[in-house]
């Protein structure tokens, strides 16, 4: 009887923990989206320009300090994983290898793959443009 009660308590704790993880993941994923929708495209562009200019002005130590103060641990992991996924894709890793190594979903890998493909296409298009001699 004690074993059965202990087993039920363990199962209950596992279910509770899984529910808390799901709730936490949902909050991370959807927390900032309503705020983004309320910002006009003009203001969004202005804010992002300021952000990019500011980050570009920082040295290595200042950049680390900035991201540690302004991003949550989860946001830093998301960004870091996407960068690592891009690096691994460019190094020729398969989707399966990336999924297993970084514990990410296929959708995330596809998203990063699309970003890389779009960037490569943009670069190729720029190289194909006829430039006049100056």
pTM over 0.75: no
Whether the CB-CB separation of 81 and 108 falls below 8 Å is answered with: yes
pLDDT at residue 126, as a whole number: 78
DSSP 133: -
pLDDT string in tens for the chain (134-residue length): 545 554 555 555 455 444 444 444 444 444 455 566 688 999 999 999 999 999 999 999 999 999 999 999 999 999 999 999 999 999 999 999 999 999 999 999 999 999 999 999 888 887 766 655 54
pLDDT at residue 128, as a whole number: 66
pLDDT at residue 28, as a whole number: 44
Sign of the dihedral through C-alpha 51, 75, 80, 41? negative
Residue 90 CA to residue 119 CA, distance in Å, equals 12
**Between the CA of residue 63 and those of 2, 23, 69, 97, what are the distances in Å?**
55, 31, 10, 30
């Amino acid at each position: 009887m004690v074993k059965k009660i202990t087993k039920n308590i363990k199962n209950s704790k596992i279910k509770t923990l899984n529910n808390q993880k799901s709730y936490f993941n949902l909050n991370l994923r959807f927390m900032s989206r309503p705020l983004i929708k309320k910002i006009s495209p003009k203001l969004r562009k202005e804010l992002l320009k300021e952000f990019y200019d500011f980050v570009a002005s920082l040295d290595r130590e200042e950049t680390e300090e900035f991201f540690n103060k302004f991003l949550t641990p989860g946001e830093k992991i998301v960004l870091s994983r996407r960068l690592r996924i891009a690096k691994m894709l460019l190094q020729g890793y398969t989707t399966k290898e990336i999924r297993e190594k970084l514990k990410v979903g296929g959708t995330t890998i596809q998203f990063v793959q699309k970003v890389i493909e779009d960037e490569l296409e943009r670069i190729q298009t720029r190289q194909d443009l006829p430039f006049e001699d100056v």
